[in-house]
């Protein structure tokens, strides 16, 4: 792929560890050592400050700002104002003076530096010594009481040393290093307690924060307030050990209803009590979701890091939350959710936490009105879901993406079908899903056209491969629309009399006609689906001839140059063959993999896992394992050299898919679950668990055998190519 690992972390199964301060990698480490609980996300920045590459970031799900200026445009369909996830208050702002000198870890001569993130507790710890004084900084976010953050600072010195520490909540934060977006509403500081309320400038959302500090030794507290912060200054003389523990409670008001009134405080817990609750939470979490790999320690660490981050990013706490491309770990992509949510992320939650998967889809239901408005902007009917959003409104101001890509709409339809197939939750379909399906189908019908040859399809679109713009009959777009029409009609024929929706038979017949006459460019002789009409006639480019220093191409090639060849950014036809795996023969998958894989440069982090999954099915072990290693350790080894901007959260979900759908051979696009496991030659064993239609399925794979256990009612499934009734534990030869 022309991309290499940049390794500087230790390989440990249950921890992320950096020994020695890698100053030039500091912003990368801040992303990797991020902590979160869906409600809030906190980058792993040094709370005391460091003159080193850094992005101080604290983010609250659903707290955002409008872009400062409206776009000067008279063109219909192009948004006038976007929105973005705003950097919130710094809840752990710390200033430390030792002997009157300010501590700056980017400038100091550090000894015995280490930072460690424990995947079994969510505890992030940094330790180092400066001129004989040892500092230990610890922090974690509560997984059971998500408003709560805990911070501890421990100082140890064999000689008496004067210490001055200011702990505060600070709203003077910057977004991408630019001016802040918060106004102070009120503040109060007294003794060891301080509280402050801020409000976003354009959206009128409130964030109320309160901190309480306790000390382990003799010290003096002096409360302090200024224009955008409130806190307390502690002075002490330390000879031996001294510790400060800070509890912060943060309350985000996304609607502005409270007008900044501070909620009643939650019951007070010590640092140790709250940490014990986190440990208990993660013990259950890992018992249900761990993936074990024996014989490959690097990928074992990689997949556990991915699962941990998925748990931090989202667990269905609120149906108004979604999953941004960077989660809550950075400001790239402005915190927006894309079509990745329903195609790459949803399966993880479907098979591990169906209630959370339901809430992800409810986000789309609750923003259906905005999707209908977006369709009107594009001169269409029904609902067109945005390519990028936090609040349901389209936030992408690049018309070639926002107006030409329909992957979000067909992805929502696919997600509804996938959810119902895996969970059997027909009531969700009746109460919510069918209304979304109907409006999406109305959009797809109004946006599509019948060509001169009588075939239906989509002209002037952009599929998943964003290196091909304004193309006709993108195969992915046409096929996903066809499946959406068919599923919508099927649902209304089966459940139409149980919904509040009145749909004329003529409209359903029109949907069926669109599906039946859908144009799917296909070369029967070569078994190749053409990515779009005319793709096979494009000039060919040998992607291996592109110098490594020219990546990423968006930074080094003119925009139009990218579109003038058959180079692929990310899987398009191959993505289709993964989502609807049961519709295609192994012969078709092989032919299309071998044609499109050499043309893909993997400029998207979502790309490697799809190739690995298909390579595994096609028994191409080297490809499968190499692509998987890239996916599972994409951020840990900074393959794309942009982890500093935040983690690739949806790609992290794809790495989970890579194990379950790739090596596990799971397919879930039909009525019967498929399991067809294989094992890479370098692995001794791997195991994973799934929830499926009220059952728990455990899969354990070794050389030459696979054991499948089912807790709950017997299950009809296809295992290793044969239809079986699974009950208890069964073993199968590989």
- Residue positions annotated with a catalytic role: 466
Q: Single out the residue of 224, 101, 256 nearest to residue 163, CA to CA.
A: 101
Round to whole Å and give the CA distance between 256 and 612.
46
Phi, psi of 308 (to 5 degrees): -60, -45
Give how far Cα 482 sits from Cα of 353, 444, 477, 478, 520, Å.
Answer: 29, 9, 9, 6, 10
Q: Please, what is the angle between helix 297-313 and helix 271-289, to 10°?
A: 120
Token duo for residue 565: 């060849």
3-state secondary structure of 16: strand
Q: Which helix (H) or strand (E) holds 588?
A: helix 586-596
Q: Single out the residue of 92, 86, 320, 319 nearest to residue 204, CA to CA.
A: 86
Q: Please, what is the angle between helix 434-447 and helix 505-516, to 10°?
A: 60
**What string of DSSP letters covers 116-134?**
EEETTT--EEEEEEETTEE
Neighbours of 693 (CB within 10 A): 15
Q: What letters, b where the CB count within 10 A reaches 16 and e where it falls short, cover 188-201?
A: ebeebbbbbbbbbe
Cis (ω within 30 of 0) for the bond into 594? no
Q: Are 701 and 687 in contact (CB under 8 A)?
A: yes
Q: In this structure, what DSSP letter does residue 482 have?
A: H
Give how far Cα 716 sits from Cα of 130, 551, 584, 675, Å.
Answer: 63, 48, 22, 11
Residue pointed to by tokens 């290793």: 720
Beta-carbon-side half-sphere exposure of residue 299 (alpha carbons within 13 Å): 24
Phi, psi of 471 (to 5 degrees): -95, 160
Neighbours of 229 (CB within 10 A): 22
- Let me know how many helices (H) and strands (E) the chain has, helices first: 20, 28
| Cα 129–Cα 133–Cα 136 angle in degrees, nearest 5 | 60
| Cα 461–Cα 603–Cα 458 angle in degrees, nearest 5 | 10
Neighbours of 556 (CB within 10 A): 12
Round to whole Å and give the CA distance between 348 and 545.
37
Round to whole Å and give the CA distance between 396 and 462.
14
């Amino acid at each position: 792929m022309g991309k290499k690992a940049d390794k500087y972390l230790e390989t440990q199964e249950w921890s992320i560890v950096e020994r020695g301060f890698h100053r030039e990698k500091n912003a990368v480490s801040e992303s990797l050592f991020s902590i979160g609980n869906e409600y809030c996300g906190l980058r792993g920045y040094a709370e005391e400050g460091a003159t080193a590459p850094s992005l101080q970031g604290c983010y609250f799900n659903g707290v955002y700002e409008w872009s400062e200026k409206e776009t000067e445009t008279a063109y219909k369909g192009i948004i006038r104002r976007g929105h973005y996830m705003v950097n919130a208050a710094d809840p752990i702002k710390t200033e430390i003076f030792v002997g009157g000198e300010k501590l700056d870890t980017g400038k100091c001569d550090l000894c015995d530096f280490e930072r460690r993130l424990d995947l079994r507790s969510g505890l992030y710890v940094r330790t180092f010594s400066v001129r004989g004084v040892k500092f230990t900084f610890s922090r974690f976010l509560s997984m059971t009481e998500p408003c709560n953050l805990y911070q501890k600072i421990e100082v140890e010195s064999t000689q008496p040393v004067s210490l001055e520490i200011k702990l505060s909540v600070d709203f003077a934060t910057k977004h991408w290093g630019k001016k802040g977006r918060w106004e102070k509403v009120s503040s109060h500081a007294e003794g060891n307690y301080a509280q402050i309320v801020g409000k976003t400038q354009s959206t009128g959302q409130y964030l109320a924060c309160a901190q309480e500090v306790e000390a382990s030794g003799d010290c003096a507290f002096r409360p302090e307030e200024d224009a955008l912060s409130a806190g307390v200054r502690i002075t002490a003389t330390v000879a031996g050990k001294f510790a400060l523990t800070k509890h912060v409670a943060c309350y985000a008001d996304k609607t502005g209803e409270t007008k900044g009134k501070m909620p009643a405080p939650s019951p007070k817990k010590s640092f140790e009590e709250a940490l014990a609750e986190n440990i208990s939470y993660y013990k259950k979490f890992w018992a249900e979701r761990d993936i074990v790999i024996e014989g490959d320690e690097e990928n074992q660490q990689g997949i556990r890091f991915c699962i941990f981050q998925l748990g931090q990013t989202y667990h269905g706490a609120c149906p108004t939350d979604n999953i941004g491309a960077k989660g809550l770990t950075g400001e790239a992509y402005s915190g927006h959710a894309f079509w990745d949510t329903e195609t790459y992320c949803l399966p993880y939650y479907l098979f591990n936490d169906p209630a959370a998967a339901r809430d992800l889809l409810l986000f789309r239901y609750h923003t259906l009105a905005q999707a209908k408005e977006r369709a009107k902007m594009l001169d269409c009917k029904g609902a067109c879901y945005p390519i990028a959003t936090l609040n349901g409104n389209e936030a992408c101001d690049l018309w070639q993406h926002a107006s030409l890509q329909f992957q979000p709409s067909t992805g929502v339809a696919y997600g509804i079908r996938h959810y119902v197939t895996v969970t059997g939750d027909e009531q969700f379909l009746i109460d919510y899903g069918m209304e979304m399906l109907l409006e999406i189908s109305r959009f797809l019908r109004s946006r599509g056209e019948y060509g001169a040859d009588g075939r239906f399809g989509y002209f002037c679109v952009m599929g998943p491969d964003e290196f091909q713009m304004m193309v006709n009959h993108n195969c992915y777009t046409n096929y996903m629309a066809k499946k959406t029409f068919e599923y919508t009609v099927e649902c209304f024929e089966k459940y139409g009399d149980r919904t509040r929706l009145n749909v004329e038979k003529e409209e359903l017949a029109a949907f069926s006609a669109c599906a039946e006459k859908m144009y799917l460019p296909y070369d029967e002789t070569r078994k190749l689906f053409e990515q779009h009409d005319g793709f096979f006639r494009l000039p060919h480019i040998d992607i291996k001839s592109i110098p490594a220093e020219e990546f990423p191409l968006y930074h080094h090639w003119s925009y139009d140059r990218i579109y003038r060849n058959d180079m692929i950014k990310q899987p398009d036809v191959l993505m289709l063959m993964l989502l609807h795996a049961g519709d295609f023969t192994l012969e078709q998958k092989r032919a299309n993999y071998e044609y499109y894989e050499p043309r893909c440069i993997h400029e998207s982090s979502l790309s490697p896992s799809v190739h690995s999954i298909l390579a595994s099915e096609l028994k191409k072990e080297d490809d499968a394992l190499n692509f998987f290693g890239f996916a599972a350790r994409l951020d840990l080894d900074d393959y794309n050299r942009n982890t500093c901007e935040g983690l690739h959260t949806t790609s992290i979900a794809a790495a989970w898919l890579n194990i379950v759908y790739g090596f596990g051979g799971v397919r879930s696009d039909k009525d019967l679950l498929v399991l067809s496991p294989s094992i890479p030659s370098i692995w001794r064993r791997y195991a994973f668990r799934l929830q499926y239609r009220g059952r728990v399925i455990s899969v354990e794979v070794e050389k030459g055998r696979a054991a499948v256990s089912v807790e709950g009612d017997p299950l009809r499934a296809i295992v290793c190519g044969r239809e079986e009734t699974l009950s208890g534990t069964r073993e199968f030869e590989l």
